[in-house]
């Protein structure tokens, strides 16, 4: 029987680089090495891995994650949907569209079910979106079907689990459909990323770095909107948030109601949705209380809060909860404050589920971890999954300082903030222009940060008692609530997956985010711009909202004329929309390459919320602050004639002096009236054939291509100028795109030209005064970004 070996590494969608330890399509040594490393890590953590196999009759539950159909097509859709400037930017698919085009078909699912049943599997269940098939079988059957050995593991916490000692394989009968087999290893588990404040740190801690009076203290979650400058950003009242949870969340739901009552908040509707069997485990209740109370406090209110509850922290159970959130497709933001060592995670299978979430416009907000640059359960510099997935937003942590009034006073990198470079996931397109990631092929994380230090953490209710708790389990729900606010605002249907939006708006280091430049997580230090500890930093939410969701109802194509004002959120696009000049909500005027989201030029006027740009009637292009102070200008005032600003497809932004004459017949006179219709216009690329003519608006002047080959200007029927090209019957005239006016013989030989080549876009005017003039435009200022 032919066997397909399951690779440890990337999904097919991401298999664009061969990284050590990623695995492959066969039983490579790297896959076996990874499995051996996983076993060693379990033993090193104090877990007893048996040398003897499990009893052949011991029950085992597996979850088979299936492959997508036309995965390449889905990836193309996702790439367009998350590429600024793309025609499909922000587009999403409905659940029905995914089912019709990309999800496993009924026939494919039936093949898997039939095969499992033929081998003795029972209790076979299929997820609503056909992505996961669950089944039960004795350990002996499991070992035989997937060609591996299962051994018991006695965990250090007293629970019993199991693990496969060799990489699993999938029989040929279903290998074309199955992406990954989960449940063979229940010993490798995720963990919640919360940290309790220590008793020693209960008193406020002073720090002179942000301000002299800055302290670290715990905060009621309702204080975070003020600390992170929510301002007029709407509440999340129109948005549903999901929480990936585990065990019995009953007490956390009770604690949330108590929190709402104590803070006089309206009760948020809550649903508890079990993915798989229920569990009595309450060991992580503090996590779910932290998630839910932080989300409600930061969001200002929700449409709905859904707990998607797994039976355990094993990947097979967590996958069911993730897929239920994706399949339901009601939560626009899903919080995930848990993770595990990337080295041992089933990245290919789980990424498949996250892919669908991104296609649907959902955003998973995932904590980056609480053990610095060495992920929990790993050895050496490492990162945590699923924070490293390119289909989620990874949220790191800071230490937050506030002043005596509880206002924001600064932040430093939290020493335990997870961050670094993935060993398995390729760099997504929206990260490729980050300076700190230049030349790298792998995903960097985190993407941004929020408060995480337990000493400046959230004061929440746990089991009816007040506790101060932090960790990136605080950071992730703070972002979840923030993004839900934006989704409830003026751009409800257009934001989609959050990550590319964040990178697009923060392509230059600007004041939308508090740039965290002090502190480290061990191997990495915070620094200017994006870094491996805090990403872009922490957001000023009101500026983020105005930049992403401000008025974009007005946009201009190609350019603008004198007298035009660009308000925050308004833009000028090049003709093909591959470049965009955007007046951002933070006050910065930025020229973007929309094909990759890179900022190629800016006025460096960030930090001035409400600023606007004016292309004045004197030809000067000026950025003004909200109170009218000049922040930047092009110094193009005082030019003769009018000017216009052009955003070009070559990436250059140019202010042109318009109507600069480069040729004239010098036949003008003031004896004729100027008509309302004005001059006749001979545009570039237009051919004037024998017998054809242009007539000025007042009817007095005619430029005709005569049958004898002469181009003649007549005033009241009297010739006043000609090209001297008679004797060439059938000759024709062309106003060329290069600005040259040429008379050609019938054979195409040039007979006469105006000598105005090199003036691309020039135009000839047959004026009412009897003059024929070729006008061009001359640059008076440029961003010097052609080709960028």
Instruction: Tell me the two tokens of residue 464.
Output: 């009816």
Residues 581 and 514 in one domain: no
Ramachandran class of 563: left when φ > 0, alpha when ψ lies in -120 to 50, beta otherwise:
left
How far is Cα 731 from Cα 726, in angstroms, rounded to an integer?
A: 9
Instruction: Tell me the two tokens of residue 35.
Output: 């499995």
Based on the residue annotation, tell me whether 61 is a catalytic residue of this protein. Answer: no
Radius of gyration of the chain (CA): 33
Instruction: Tell me the two tokens of residue 167.
Output: 């990489």
* CATH number, position 670: 2.90.10.10
CA angle 229, 231, 580 (to 5 degrees): 85
The answer as to whether 718 is a domain residue is: yes
Residues 267 and 122 in one domain: no
* CATH number, position 311: 3.40.50.200
Query: Minimal CA–CA distance to 217: which of 405, 370, 369?
Result: 405
Cβ 64 vs Cβ 132: under 8 Å: yes
Strands 458-462 and 191-192, by their bridges, are: unpaired
Residues 578 and 532 in one domain: no
The widest CA-to-CA distance across the chain, in whole angstroms, is: 111
Which residues of the chain fall short of a pLDDT of 50? 1-27, 199-208, 211-212, 492-493, 508-509, 551-553
Instruction: Tell me the two tokens of residue 4.
Output: 């397909």
Cβ 552 vs Cβ 571: under 8 Å: yes
Beta pairing partners, 683: none
Query: Minimal CA–CA distance to 43: which of 163, 166, 183?
Result: 163
How far is Cα 287 from Cα 536, in angstroms, rounded to an integer?
A: 25
- Collapsing DSSP to helix, strand or coil, 89 comes out as coil
Cβ 738 vs Cβ 745: under 8 Å: no
The answer as to whether 200 is a domain residue is: no
Q: 701 burial class (0-12, 13-18, 19+ CB within 10 angstroms)?
A: buried
Phi first, then psi, for residue 571 (nearest 5°) are -145, 160
**In the prediction, which pLDDT does 29 show?**
57
The answer as to whether 201 is a domain residue is: no
One of 80, 209, 274, 279 is an active-site residue; which one?
Answer: 274
Bond prior to 446 in cis (omega within 30° of 0):
yes
Based on the residue annotation, tell me whether 128 is a catalytic residue of this protein. Answer: no
DSSP class of residue 535 equals: B
**In the prediction, which pLDDT does 641 show?**
62
Write out the DSSP string of 352-393.
HHHHHHHHTT-EEEEE--SSTTS-TT--SS--EETTT-TTSE
Length in residues, the chain:
788
Q: 185 burial class (0-12, 13-18, 19+ CB within 10 angstroms)?
A: buried
One of 136, 168, 185, 287 is an active-site residue; which one?
Answer: 287
Residues 565 and 619 in one domain: yes
How far is Cα 241 from Cα 70, in angstroms, rounded to an integer?
A: 29
DSSP class of residue 671 equals: S
One of 292, 312, 367, 473 is an active-site residue; which one?
Answer: 473
Q: Give the long-range contacts of residues 712-716, CB within 8 A, separation 24 or more.
A: 713/665, 713/667, 713/766, 713/770, 713/772, 715/667, 715/770
3-state helix, strand and coil shares in percent for the chain, rounded to the nearest 5: 20, 30, 45
Ramachandran class of 540: left when φ > 0, alpha when ψ lies in -120 to 50, beta otherwise:
beta
Residues 437 and 534 in one domain: yes
Using the 3D structure, point to which of 614, 635, 657 is the last residue of a domain: 657
Q: Give the long-range contacts of residues 142-147, CB within 8 A, separation 24 or more.
A: 142/60, 142/62, 142/184, 143/53, 143/56, 144/119, 145/119, 145/171, 146/170, 146/181, 146/184, 147/3
Query: Minimal CA–CA distance to 694: which of 647, 763, 592, 644?
Result: 763
What tens digit of pLDDT does each residue of 94-107 get?
Answer: 999 999 999 999 99
Lateral strand order in the sheet of 589-593: 555-557, 571-573, 579-583, 589-593, 598-602
**In the prediction, which pLDDT does 640 show?**
59
Our measurement of the distance from residue 480's CA atom to the centroid of its chain's CA atoms, rounded to an integer in Å, reads 14
Phi first, then psi, for residue 425 (nearest 5°) are -95, 130
Ramachandran class of 229: left when φ > 0, alpha when ψ lies in -120 to 50, beta otherwise:
left
What tens digit of pLDDT does each residue of 281-322 get?
Answer: 999 999 999 999 999 999 999 999 999 999 999 999 999 999
Using the 3D structure, point to which of 510, 541, 572 is the last residue of a domain: 541
Domain count, the chain: 4
How far is Cα 330 from Cα 470, in angstroms, rounded to an integer?
A: 28
Residues 532 and 563 in one domain: no
DSSP class of residue 332 equals: S
Using the 3D structure, point to which of 657, 677, 709 is the last residue of a domain: 657
Our measurement of the distance from residue 99's CA atom to the centroid of its chain's CA atoms, rounded to an integer in Å, reads 24
3-state secondary structure 7-52: CCCCCHHHCCCCCCCCCCCCCCHHHHHHHHHHHHHHHHCCCEECCC
Instruction: Tell me the two tokens of residue 661.
Output: 């004459």
CA angle 75, 79, 84 (to 5 degrees): 170
How far is Cα 421 from Cα 440, in angstroms, rounded to an integer?
A: 9
Based on the residue annotation, tell me whether 255 is a catalytic residue of this protein. Answer: yes
Residues 319 and 174 in one domain: no
Cβ 469 vs Cβ 477: under 8 Å: no
Query: Minimal CA–CA distance to 242: which of 301, 329, 353, 129?
Result: 329
Instruction: Tell me the two tokens of residue 221.
Output: 């979650």
E strands along 277-416, which residues? 302-310, 333-336, 338-341, 363-367, 384-385, 393-402, 408-413
Based on the residue annotation, tell me whether 185 is a catalytic residue of this protein. Answer: no
One of 255, 342, 515, 768 is an active-site residue; which one?
Answer: 255
Q: 265 burial class (0-12, 13-18, 19+ CB within 10 angstroms)?
A: middle
Residues 362 and 405 in one domain: yes
How far is Cα 23 from Cα 30, in angstroms, rounded to an integer?
A: 5
Based on the residue annotation, tell me whether 291 is a catalytic residue of this protein. Answer: yes
How far is Cα 251 from Cα 207, in angstroms, rounded to an integer?
A: 36
The answer as to whether 314 is a domain residue is: yes
Beta pairing partners, 152: 162
One of 168, 260, 291, 515 is an active-site residue; which one?
Answer: 291
Query: Minimal CA–CA distance to 560: which of 646, 633, 621?
Result: 646
Cβ 610 vs Cβ 547: under 8 Å: no
How far is Cα 468 from Cα 425, in angstroms, rounded to an integer?
A: 34
The answer as to whether 587 is a domain residue is: yes
Residues 614 and 690 in one domain: no
How far is Cα 636 from Cα 588, in angstroms, rounded to an integer?
A: 20
The answer as to whether 90 is a domain residue is: no
Instruction: Tell me the two tokens of residue 81.
Output: 């949907």
Residues 646 and 672 in one domain: no
Beta pairing partners, 339: 191
**In the prediction, which pLDDT does 556 show?**
66
Residues 421 and 459 in one domain: yes
The answer as to whether 157 is a domain residue is: yes
**Residue 151 lies in domain:** 3-68+103-182
Beta pairing partners, 644: 561, 656
Residues 258 and 403 in one domain: yes
The answer as to whether 197 is a domain residue is: no
Instruction: Tell me the two tokens of residue 68.
Output: 């997508």
Place of tokens 């690329």: 685
């Amino acid at each position: 029987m032919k066997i397909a070996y399951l690779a440890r590494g990337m999904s097919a969608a991401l298999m664009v680089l061969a990284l050590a330890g990623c695995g492959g399509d066969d039983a490579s040594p790297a896959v076996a090495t990874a499995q051996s490393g996983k076993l060693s890590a379990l033993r090193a953590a104090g877990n007893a891995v048996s040398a003897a196999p499990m009893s052949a009759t011991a029950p085992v539950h597996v979850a088979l994650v299936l492959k997508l159909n036309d995965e390449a097509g889905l990836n193309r859709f996702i790439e367009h949907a998350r590429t600024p400037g793309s025609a499909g930017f922000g587009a999403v698919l409905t659940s029905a569209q995914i089912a019709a085009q990309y999800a496993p078909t009924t026939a494919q699912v039936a093949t898997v079910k039939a095969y499992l049943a033929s081998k003795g599997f029972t209790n076979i269940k299929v997820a609503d979106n056909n992505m996961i098939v669950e089944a039960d079988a004795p350990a002996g059957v499991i070992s035989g079907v997937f060609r591996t050995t299962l051994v018991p593991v006695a965990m250090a916490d007293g629970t019993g689990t199991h693990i496969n000692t060799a990489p699993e394989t999938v029989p040929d009968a279903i290998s074309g459909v199955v992406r990954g087999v989960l449940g063979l290893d229940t010993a490798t588990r995720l963990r919640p990323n919360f940290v309790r404040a220590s008793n020693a740190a209960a008193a406020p801690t002073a720090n002179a770095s942000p301000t002299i009076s800055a302290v670290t203290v715990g905060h009621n979650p309702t204080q975070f909107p003020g600390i992170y400058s929510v301002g007029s950003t709407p509440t999340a009242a129109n948005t549903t948030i999901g929480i990936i949870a585990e065990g019995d969340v009953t007490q956390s739901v009770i604690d949330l109601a108590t929190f709402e009552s104590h803070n006089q908040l309206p009760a948020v509707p809550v649903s508890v949705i079990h993915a798989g069997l229920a569990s009595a485990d309450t060991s992580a209740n503090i996590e779910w209380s932290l998630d839910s109370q932080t989300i409600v406090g930061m969001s200002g209110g929700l449409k709905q809060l859904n707990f998607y509850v797994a039976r355990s922290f094993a990947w097979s159970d967590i996958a069911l909860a993730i897929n239920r959130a994706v399949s339901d497709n009601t939560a626009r933001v899903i919080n995930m404050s848990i993770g595990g060592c990337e080295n041992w995670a089933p990245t290919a299978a789980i990424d498949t589920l996250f892919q669908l979430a991104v296609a649907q416009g959902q955003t998973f907000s995932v904590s980056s971890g609480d053990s610095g640059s060495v992920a929990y359960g790993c050895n050496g510099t490492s990162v945590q999954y699923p924070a490293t997935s390119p289909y989620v937003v990874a949220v790191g942590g800071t230490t937050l300082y506030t002043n005596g009034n509880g206002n924001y006073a600064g932040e430093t990198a939290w020493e335990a903030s997870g961050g670094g470079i993935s060993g398995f996931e390729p760099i997504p397109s929206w990260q490729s222009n980050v300076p700190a990631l230049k030349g790298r092929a792998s995903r960097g994380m985190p993407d941004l940060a929020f408060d995480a230090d337990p000493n400046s953490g959230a004061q929440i209710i746990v089991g009816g008692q007040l506790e101060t708790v932090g960790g990136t389990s605080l950071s992730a729900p703070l972002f979840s609530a923030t993004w839900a606010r934006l989704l409830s605002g003026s751009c409800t249907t257009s934001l989609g997956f959050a990550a590319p939006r964040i990178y697009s708006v923060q392509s230059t280091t600007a004041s939308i985010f508090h740039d965290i430049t002090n502190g480290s997580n061990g191997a990495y230090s915070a620094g200017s711009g994006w870094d491996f500890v805090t990403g872009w930093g922490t957001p000023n939410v009101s500026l983020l909202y105005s930049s992403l969701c401000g008025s974009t109802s007005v946009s201009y194509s190609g350019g603008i004329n004198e007298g035009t004002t660009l308000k925050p959120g308004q833009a000028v696009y090049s003709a093909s929309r591959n470049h965009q000049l955007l007046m951002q909500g933070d006050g910065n005027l930025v020229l973007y390459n929309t094909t990759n989201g890179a900022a190629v030029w800016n006025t460096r006027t960030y930090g001035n919320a409400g600023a606007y740009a004016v292309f004045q009637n004197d030809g000067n292009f000026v950025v003004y602050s909200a109170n009218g102070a000049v922040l930047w200008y092009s110094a193009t005032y005082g030019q003769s004639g009018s000017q216009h600003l052009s955003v070009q497809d070559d990436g250059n932004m140019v202010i042109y002096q318009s109507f600069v004459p480069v040729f004239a017949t010098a036949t003008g006179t003031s004896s004729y009236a100027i008509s309302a219709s004005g001059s006749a216009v001979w545009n570039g690329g237009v051919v004037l054939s024998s017998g054809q003519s242009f007539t000025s608006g007042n009817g007095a002047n005619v430029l005709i291509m005569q049958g004898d080959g002469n181009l003649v200007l007549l005033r009241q029927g009297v010739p006043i100028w000609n090209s001297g090209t008679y004797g060439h019957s059938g000759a024709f005239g062309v106003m060329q795109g290069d600005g040259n006016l040429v008379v050609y013989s019938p054979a195409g030989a040039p007979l006469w030209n105006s000598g105005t080549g090199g003036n691309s876009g020039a135009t000839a005017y047959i004026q009412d005064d009897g003059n024929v003039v070729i006008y061009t435009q001359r640059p008076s200022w440029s961003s010097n970004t052609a080709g960028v």
